[in-house]
Amino acid sequence: MEKIPKQFVVIGAGKFGSSVAITLSKLGYEVTILDKDKEKIQNMSSSVTQAIQLDAMDEKALKSVNIEEADVAIVSIGKQMAASILITMMLKEMGISKVVTKAISEAHGKVLSRIGADRIVFPEREMGIKLANALISPTLFDYVEIAPGYDIIEVNAPKFLWEKTLSEARVRSKYQIEIIAIKQTVPRLDGSGDTTLEEEINIVPPADTLIHDGDRVVIIGAKDKVARFREK
């Protein structure tokens, strides 16, 4: 069975790369983002595990930050075709088991596939798939395929989880999935003494966390196990 990735490196801090990095970081993963643009790296520094300014075309610079320790590398500099191709080749030569590369055209994608990219991402097409999933399942708030056969999804907590703790729910033993975050709406007092509702995110919640009606859960697992959980 393919192992679930824990460490990610994102190369390129543009809109796509920064969005991927921030999402993975919020879900509790170790994320390093690299870009040669100092301002972009400064903007990302508080959102990920590490934000490092360097030129990813420089193989020595890549090796100096122990990039080969990552489980997954995401190359998000699609507009620079030659650079994305070269960086993808270097990452595979360094032994990174899964390299995901953003492409801007079918031709670009074909070249990336031939040089060993494990997955080619076409952002507009991917957004279309995500939208389609959301439209056919109104309870699905977010969907990410983190590896072939593995999904992370965010859904309304199903009724059978209400008023149970995570230990009581036993989703790991029953469904072979993990609840990695719980989003709850909690009342807060503002500066005027009025009560407002705010979303609170509990990343890697402890076993005694109680799940309520109206909560949303973020789960991770094999695609078939996730689908079985959603059908309950």
Residue 54 corresponds to which amino acid? L
Strand order in the sheet with 216-222: 140-147, 150-156, 216-222, 178-189, 195-203
Query: What pLDDT score was predicted for residue 40?
Result: 95
Percent of the chain scoring above 90 in pLDDT: 44
80 pLDDT above the threshold of 90? no
Q: Give the H or E element holding residue 211.
A: strand 210-211
Note the helical H segments in the chain: 15-26, 38-44, 59-64, 81-93, 106-114, 123-136, 166-169, 171-175, 223-231
52 pLDDT above the threshold of 90? yes
pLDDT classification of 87: cutoffs 50, 70, 90? very high
Per the prediction, the chain carries an average pLDDT of: 84
The closest alpha carbon to 115, from 94, 89, 93, belongs to: 89
Answer positive or negative: Cα dihedral of 161, 166, 168, 173. positive
Instruction: Give the span between the Cα atoms of 214 and 225, in whole angstroms.
Output: 23
Residue 174 corresponds to which amino acid? K
215 pLDDT above the threshold of 50? yes
Find the helix packing angle between 106-114 and 81-93, rounded to 10°.
Answer: 20
Angle at 130 between CA 217 and CA 86, to 5 degrees: 110
The domain segmentation of the chain, as residue ranges, is 7-121, 128-231
| The CATH number of the domain covering residues in 128-231 | 3.30.70.1450
> How many helices and strands (H and E) does the chain possess?
9, 13
Contact by Cβ (8 Å): 37, 26: no
DSSP state of 194: -
pLDDT classification of 27: cutoffs 50, 70, 90? confident
pLDDT classification of 55: cutoffs 50, 70, 90? very high
3 pLDDT above the threshold of 70? no
Query: What pLDDT score was predicted for residue 144?
Result: 59
Average pLDDT over residues 202-226: 88
| Backbone angles phi and psi of 168, in degrees to 5 | -70, -35
Average pLDDT over residues 102-113: 90
Average pLDDT over residues 213-231: 86
The closest alpha carbon to 217, from 174, 165, 173, belongs to: 165
Query: What pLDDT score was predicted for residue 1?
Result: 45
* Three-class secondary structure of residue 50 per DSSP: strand
Query: What pLDDT score was predicted for residue 28?
Result: 83
Higher pLDDT pick, 2 / 116: 116
Query: What pLDDT score was predicted for residue 200?
Result: 81
For residue range 120-172, list pLDDT tens digits in order: 888 766 666 665 555 545 454 555 555 667 778 888 898 999 999 999 999 99
| Backbone angles phi and psi of 224, in degrees to 5 | -70, -35
In terms of CATH architecture, what is 7-121? 3-Layer(aba) Sandwich (3.40)
For residue 69, give both structure tokens. 């320790």
Average pLDDT over residues 106-122: 90
Query: What pLDDT score was predicted for residue 148?
Result: 66
Instruction: Give the span between the Cα atoms of 193 and 191, in whole angstroms.
Output: 6
